[in-house]
Amino acid sequence: MKLELDAPNVGELEKEYLNKTIDSGFISTFGPNVPRFEEIFADYVDAKMAVSTQTGTAALHVALHELGIGEGDEVIVPALTFIATVNPVVYVGAQPVFVDVDIETWNIDPYKIEESITKKTRAILPVHLYGNPCTMGSIMDIAKKYNLYVIEDTTESLGATYNGQHTGTFGDLGCFSFNGNKTITTGSGGMITGNNNQRMDHIKFLVNQARDSDRGYFHPEIGFNYRMTNISASMGLAQMERLDGLLERKKRLHAVYKEELGGVDHISFQKEYDGAESSWWFTCVTLKEKIDVDALQARLKEKGIPVRRVFMPLVEFPPYKKCRLREYGNSYKIYERGLCLPSSTLNTTEDIRNACRRIIESLKEQQ
């Protein structure tokens, strides 16, 4: 079987749900699957409400908009994350303030957060990178101290918990992604979770072009066309039925990596700390400086082992170079030495054991 980096795990159940939806005629944004998916999702993460969106990026955008963040405001974000975390900050006219991450967990460093707060700071946007939960206790304490909003980027961390509580339920809002490479997928899609019913009702209103349905096609404010389709939601319902099994497979694949590579001198794993339970969306490692990471990636590709570089620090990209106000040593170390290992739930434990043997072989070939 071909080893997969992050391919989606979809099958007969998804086909069944999709076919039923197509036969029903509810193929657009109207239909029973969307509210049902939102209800089941909110129950799973133990949030009062959930509102679905077209993408995780759309979820982040409307979350920032709903909290009134805009021109002249600052939002604190980690320097090490996917660019979709920060782009919505700019969409609403706010200024991103990048801070470094912890060298072991790879998540935003609470001490760096507090150092970066100014009179313009309105929100913190922590990212549970690769499924590993941030230290939300410390982050929420800081937010309370300075009266700041917290929007959790949970796009990679469905199923992860911190002190037994699901990510996406600590802050004012949580934003999930169901892109094709995520633990569950709707093809493309997102979800916003929250515990303030009035706020969540308004978000549901905003993602439907801010349409006042009691007055027909009347729009009292500017909204967004961010609704999820009934077809996408049907896939979400099928995937939610399989979620526990998919998370267990992620956990098992990570355990195999630790068993096979945990004692290898040149390899260190992203750290899961006390109180945190990662969803292991990706199992990621860093390599010691004597290893040529680019050469290793090329050698592994030749051996049929697809790996991916860790996200590049956002201050490297042209739109955000001007935002580089401090040093980001840990973010650069992780990027320069980091690799994401094959983590698709289509892989078997034997696939991963074979991959580990080839990784060890490739490391020896570099020495």
Return the pLDDT at 213. 84
On the 0-12 / 13-18 / 19+ scale of CB atoms within 10 A, 224 is middle
Say which residues have a Cβ less than 8 Å from residue 259's Cβ, sequence separation at least 6.
Answer: none
> Which residues is 175 bridged to in the sheet?
153, 192
CB 54 within 8 A of CB 189: yes
Whether residue 243 contacts residue 183, with contact meaning beta carbons closer than 8 Å, is answered with yes
Share of the chain above pLDDT 70, in %: 99
CATH 3.90.1150.10 fits domain 243-366: yes
pLDDT on residue 1 = 61
- For 22-25, the CB contacts below 8 A with 24+ separation are 22/231
Query: What does each C-alpha distance from 312 to 82, 167, 244, 273 come to in angstroms?
Result: 8, 24, 31, 24
123 pLDDT above the threshold of 80:
yes
Can you give the pLDDT at residue 159?
A: 98
Q: How confident is the model at residue 324 (pLDDT cuts 50, 70, 90)?
A: confident
pLDDT at 250: 98
Where, residue-wise, is CATH 3.40.640.10 in the chain?
12-239
The 10 Å Cβ neighbour count of residue 255 is: 15
**Closest Cα to residue 112, out of 334, 333, 331?**
331
H or E stretch at 194: strand 190-194
Arithmetic mean of pLDDT, 311-337: 94
CATH of domain 12-239: 3.40.640.10
Domain with CATH 3.90.1150.10 in the chain: 243-366
Averaged over 249-260, what is the pLDDT? 98
**In this structure, what are the phi and psi dihedrals at residue 5, rounded to the nearest 5 degrees?**
-75, -60
Res. 340: pLDDT tops 80: yes
Model confidence at 119: pLDDT above 70: yes
Per-residue pLDDT band for 18 (boundaries 50, 70, 90) equals very high
Instruction: Give the residue among 29, 143, 8, 24 at the shortest CA–CA distance from 75.
Output: 143
- On the question of pLDDT at 366 being above 80, the answer is no
201 SS3 class: helix
What does the pLDDT average to over 181-199? 97
CA–chain centroid gap for 344, Å, is 15
Which of 89-103, 116-130, 203-217, 346-360 has the weakest average pLDDT?
Answer: 203-217
What are 138-167's pLDDT values in tens digits? 999 999 999 999 999 999 999 999 999 999
Q: What is the mean pLDDT of residues 50-57?
A: 98
Q: How many CB atoms lie within 10 A of CB 238?
A: 21
Q: Is the pLDDT of residue 214 over 90?
A: no
pLDDT surpasses 90 at 259? yes
User: Which stretches within 100-196 are classed as H helix?
Assistant: 110-116, 136-146
